[in-house]
């Protein structure tokens, strides 16, 4: 199993590019780094679907079966119909905050892989730890699980002020 760290660049814009990004390498036996690049590209396609509020793209990213999703504060969603309905509602919300992934790390073994990243919601208003799990299905990476949870911020504690009289 390998690890790959990727920064977030501008998300791809075209539908044909999205399809190409979530497809596995067609070079026969992909190199280790190519598999990691491919799964990071599939992850980028997921966030591009969010950024463009494109339900068709989002639907294409998710596998057909054995899928689960845990949105922050939601109960576990099991099955493609429940998951896609949740995304249909989220993506159709005109007040949906922008979600920006950062610090993506890919781990791939065989036909499954995970991407761990930090999602910044609404600029820097909220940070979530996200896990996006993919499975290779018919030579393409398809999402089988998404989970995001708030990252607890460290509380800032003010230094205690001295009590008593001033000596000088």
Matching residue, tokens 């000088």: 168
Q: Give pLDDT tens digits for 66-81.
A: 999 999 999 999 999 9
Q: Which long-range contacts (CB under 8 A, 24 or more apart) does 150-156 make?
A: 150/72, 150/126, 151/118, 151/127, 153/127
Total count of residues recorded for the chain? 168
Is the pTM here over 0.85, yes or no?
Answer: no
Q: Give pLDDT tens digits for 93-112.
A: 999 899 999 999 999 999 99
Bridge partners, residue 165, by sequence: none
Integer Cα distance of 30 and 32 in angstroms:
6
């Amino acid at each position: 199993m390998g690890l790959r760290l990727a920064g977030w660049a501008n998300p791809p814009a075209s539908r044909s590019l999205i399809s190409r990004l979530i497809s596995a390498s067609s070079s026969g036996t992909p190199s280790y780094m190519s598999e990691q690049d491919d799964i990071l590209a599939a992850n980028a396609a997921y966030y591009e679907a969010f950024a463009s509020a494109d339900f068709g793209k989002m639907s294409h990213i998710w596998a057909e079966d054995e899928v689960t999703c845990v949105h922050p504060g939601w109960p576990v969603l099991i099955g493609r119909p429940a998951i896609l309905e949740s995304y249909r509602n989220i993506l159709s919300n005109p007040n949906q905050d922008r979600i920006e992934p950062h610090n993506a790390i890919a781990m791939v073994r065989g036909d499954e892989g995970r991407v761990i990243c930090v999602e910044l919601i609404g600029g820097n208003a909220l940070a979530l730890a996200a896990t996006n799990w993919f499975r290779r299905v018919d030579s393409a990476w398809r999402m089988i699980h998404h989970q995001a949870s708030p990252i607890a911020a460290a509380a800032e504690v003010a230094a205690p002020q001295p009590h008593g009289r001033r000596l000088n």
